[in-house]
Structure 1
Amino acid sequence: MSIPYLYIDRTSSIPIPEQIAEQFISAIRAKRLKPGQSLPTVRELSKSLQISMETAQKAYQLLKKDGWITSKPRHGTTVSAHLPQSTPMLAPKRHAKRLALLQTLKAFKQIPGLYPVSGISLPPDPVLLQALKEVSNQALDSSLKVEESDPFGVSDLRSKIQGLLVERGIWSDLSSLCIFNGSQQAIWLIADLLLKPGDIVVIPETCYLPIKEIFQSKGAQVVSIRQVSDGIDLDHLEQICQKKSISLLFTMPNGHYPTGASWSEEKKRAVIALAQKRNFPILEDDFYAELYYTPIPPTTLYALATNMAPNVSIFYTSSFHMLIHTNIRLGYLIVPEPYVEIMHHAKSLVDKTASVFTQYLLLHLWEKINFPNYLKQLRQRLKTARNQMLESLERWLPPGYTFSSPQVGITTWVHPPHPMDETRFIEQCLAEHVFVMPGEAFAVEQPVPGFQVNFGKIPPEILDQAIQRIGKILRRYHSSY
């Protein structure tokens, strides 16, 4: 019996039963295997993969233990009708392996001469840096004239942000719009206000991992939701809701980091309807809000809910530091009306207000360079870079590797046709002077196979060379299959 979704890497440090179990889980999560579907017998599995029956039996025991499969006399082994709500936390051996991989990535990230294929940000723009220098004295003068700061921020800057929001179909009163020292601070305060120990927070199975740590620092139980090609798995979210009372859903519907996936409007409406039915708030992180490549900005959960479910509380946040410079940390949050007063008080306790100097720096920069016009030009440059990246991926990657054309943000995700030993892959990439981040670097629990590509970080011609090197590595890596 041929089993096309299973491969064995006999050079990997991961035991073969664990390799098999993880690949079955990946196939189930990707819906290549469905609940109730029959699986090979131990003998068939052993023969197909050329492994001992004992090894095959150990793989099935791992899957049974965690609830992925069931076995019954005369019925054989099948995918469980009721799948685990979330992948179990990593075993100590896997946890140690993950830490070693992340430490390797951290150690090599800043080494000169590497091609940085993955990442969250854009490189500094010399035009912006020069403009920042030119307005810095003006910003300092303006900030020193402020006698008492509004915890929600400088009103003139909030008015500018309000204008950007209107272009996205979002209307917010200035009284609900709060400026933070980066969107991460906003997320931390939301968690502090909403969560208590034991509360359930649902987040995507891949994300910027400090987000997970913020929720866990409040004692919340983090439950990861499976992802499919167009974002979160709605069926899985509904299953979680049926068994648990959700206190908060954190999500990135447009330009999800790290995968670059965006939801359809149909999925957005379905999630809002579910939030209304189950009465849970949503934290919508629109980190790449200004980097869209469609004729009009993609719709947001916040804008849709305003009309279809105004009683659903949606905290909408975005950030500027990625657009300007990673060290100039300014983000903003639209606070749902019932939480405005308590957020105002909390913000005043945390830091009185976001850096007044940085706020005026952005305000004067906005006026000097015509910031909305600058963003239009930036989007056009990045759209061209995205298209060139897609051509490079198509040209250099081996057959079977898939990826999507991101409509928002600066990243895409490359999906392999079969599992990878990520440590080995990373080591070979680093040997070729290529820095790339695999699924393990973003995994809430179990990693999504593949790796991230950022098309805004380095010039397209340099990225093309890096992808060519990755393609050669992958061809060598999979030649044994």
Structure 2
Amino acid sequence: MRVAPPPPAARLSAVASSPVREILALTARPGVISFAGGLPAPELFDVDGLRAAFDEVLAKQPRRALQYSRTEGDPVLRQAIADRLTRRDLPTAADDLLITTGSQQALTLIATTLLEPGDVVLVEEPSYLAALQCFQLAGARLVPVPCDEDGLDPVALAELVDRERPALLYLVPTFQNPTGRTLTAERRRAVAEVAASRGLWIVEDDPYGELRYRGEALSPIAALDDAADRTILLGTFSKIMAPGLRIGWLRAPAALANSLVVAKQAADLHTSTIDQAAAGVYLGAVDLDEHIRRLRAAYAPRREALLAGLPEALPAGSTWSDPDGGMFVWVRLPGVADASELLPRALARDVAFVPGAPFFATRPDPATLRLSFTTHSPEEIAEGLRRLGAALA
């Protein structure tokens, strides 16, 4: 008699599969114009520069690059990231940083370090889908903070902190995923004050901050005096270099550094040695700021093309965000529309988007959807919007 092995852990039952990943599989066929994934444009990857960096690493330091390495990360890479953050008004030392396998792993390490099952995590409404998955997997209870076009409401945040006693606040303050909105400087200061006066950890996720197309850059929350000792800043090279490298980092207060290192040791020992070494060489050989300027120059007209075409493509009464940077525009259809029900009609016309409901921690708004503008030319975006308009008609 054969006995079945035990089932998967019960905590997985509370975590839904990512609809973004499922839609990406559906849109892989040729001819589909996809506004679904938050993907950088592959034609803008610096293939030659990255190839040269890997060649140099393998030619000059193969034994080191192919060996196990320190959990904290490659010292050359950490110093290069520290220098970039310092130039962005956030003085940082290499020892303040932990290299992670993408910033998604940073979220997992934070959840492992700071959360017990049943702890409350405050999130924006709506919020980054993969962060919601991560915190749900850790057994946290997610509580959304009301938001408007200027980001989360600090007054509502203070009330929720007093009522819920959360372990941490997670937010993407600059060009947020999925809405594209940016938290104002005044509200950043207010968030820092709430965290300081009530004993709250802040997890500040910043994957898009350097992709600004208009306006002046804002200092990160981590740079504010009230937040300096309680903010964990997450960054990544996925949006400005190449996501396939899977190189991210977190900048943490000294009180958390050792615990996060131990959590990473238990997770994967260290991030890929050769990828870190190549990234360090690449950053020393190229002008990354100039590469980012090229990305901005390419993405800005794509953003404009999407925004210009929405009035004709969407039903009357629709509303949408007008982001200063990043990768996304957030749409709300009129009335009681359900974007999930409309998606099959769009796919039948070879165009795709992401329904907005999964980005909500509790009460979803089914009439919302997310559009990404980075992976197609303005001409392709115009054609995609024509198809989308026909599907929604």
TM-score normalised by the chain length of structure 1: 0.72
The partner residue of 1:414 within 326, 331, 334 is: 331
What residue identity is the alignment partner of 2:161?
C
Q: Which residue is 1:269 aligned to?
A: 189
State the partner residue of 1:57. none
For 1:210 and 1:127, the matched residues in 2 are separated by 24
User: Deviation at 1:254?
Assistant: 0.5
Alpha-carbon displacement from aligned partner over 1:109-135 (angstroms, at most 9, x marks no partner): 323321101221113136512332233
Displacement of 1:284 after TM fit? Answer: 0.5
1:376 paired with 2:293, answer yes
332-341 or 386-395: bigger deviation: 386-395
Q: Does 1:150 align with 2:67?
A: no
Structure with more relative contact order (C-alpha pairs < 8 Å, separation 6 or more): 2
CA distance in 1, matches of 2:85, 2:316: 42
Letter paired with 2:303: R
The Cα shift of 1:211 comes to 1.6
Please tell me the root mean square deviation across aligned C-alpha atoms, in Å: 2.5
Code of the residue aligned with 2:351 in structure 1: it is V
The answer on 1:329 being equivalent to 2:246 is: yes
3-state SS of the aligned residue for 2:334? coil
Kindly state the Cα deviation for residue 426 of structure 1 after the two structures are TM-superposed. Answer: 0.9
Q: Match for 2:126 among 203, 206, 214?
A: 206
Answer whether contact 1:143 1:356 (CA < 8 A) is retained.
Answer: no
Residue 211 of structure 2 is aligned with which of 288, 291, 304?
Answer: 291
Q: Does 1:125 align with 2:43?
A: yes
Structure 1 range deviating more: 260-269 or 131-140:
131-140
Q: CA deviation at 1:101?
A: 7.7
Structure 1 runs, 4 residues or longer, greater than 4 Å off: 98-104
Range 255-264 or range 234-243, more displaced: 234-243
- Following superposition, the deviation at residue 327 of structure 1 comes to 1.9
TM superposition shift of 1:382: 1.5
Indicate the SS of the match to 1:321: coil
Query: Which entry has the higher C-alpha Rg, 1 or 2?
Result: 1
Q: Percent identity?
A: 28
1:309-340 per-residue CA deviation (whole Å, 9 max, x = no partner) reads: 544x0000011123233321000110112112
The answer as to whether partners of 1:125 and 1:324 remain within 8 angstroms in 2 is no
Residue in structure 2 matched with residue 53 of structure 1 by the alignment: none
Corresponding residue for residue 284 of structure 2: 367
Q: Unpaired segments of 5 or more residues in structure 2?
A: 1-13
Is the 8 Å Cα contact of residues 222 and 228 (structure 2) preserved in structure 1?
no
Compared CA separation, residues 148 and 100, structure 1 to 2 (3 A):
closer
Q: Using the TM superposition, give the Cα deviation of residue 234 of structure 1 relative to its aligned residue in structure 2, in angstroms.
A: 3.3
Which residue matches 1:358? Answer: 275
The answer for unaligned runs of 5 or more in structure 1 is: 1-94, 477-481
For 1:163, the equivalent position in structure 2 comes to: 83
Residue 452 in structure 1 maps to residue 367 in structure 2: no
Q: Judging changes above 3 Å, is the alpha-carbon distance between structure 1 residues 122 and 100 closer, same or farther for their aligned structure 2 residues?
A: closer
Specify the code of the residue in structure 2 equivalent to 1:444: A
2:387 to 469, 478, 481: 469
Offset, 1:405: 2.1
Alpha-carbon shift at residue 191 of structure 1 (Å): 1.0
Please state how far the C-alpha of 1:440 moved relative to its aligned partner. 2.1
SS at match of 1:323: coil
User: Which range moves more in the overlay, 454-463 or 140-149?
Assistant: 140-149
Distance 1:395 1:255 in 2: 25
Which residue type is aligned with residue 240 of structure 1? L
Q: Deviations along 1:361-386, whole A, 9 cap, x unmatched?
A: 21222234322211122122212222
Which residue type is aligned with residue 362 of structure 1? A
Alignment-mate amino acid for residue 376 of structure 2 = I
CA distance in 2, matches of 1:341, 1:358: 23
Asked if the contact 1:115–1:433 (Cα under 8 Å) also holds between the matched residues in 2, the reply is yes
- The answer to whether the aligner puts 1:115 opposite 2:33 as a matched pair is yes
**Helix, strand or coil at the partner of 1:362:** helix
Contact 1:168–1:298 (CA<8 Å) still a contact in 2?
no
Q: Distance in 2 between matches of 1:153 and 1:166?
A: 18
Instruction: Rate the CA distance shift 1:465–1:345 in 2: closer, same or farther, 3 A.
Output: same
Deviation by residue 1:200-225 (Cα, 9 ceiling, x = unmatched): 11122333333222222222222223
TM-score, normalised by the number of residues in structure 2: 0.87
> CA 1:103–1:190 in structure 2 vs 1: closer, same or farther (change >3 Å)?
closer
Q: Which one of 51, 56, 59 corresponds to residue 138 of structure 1?
A: 56
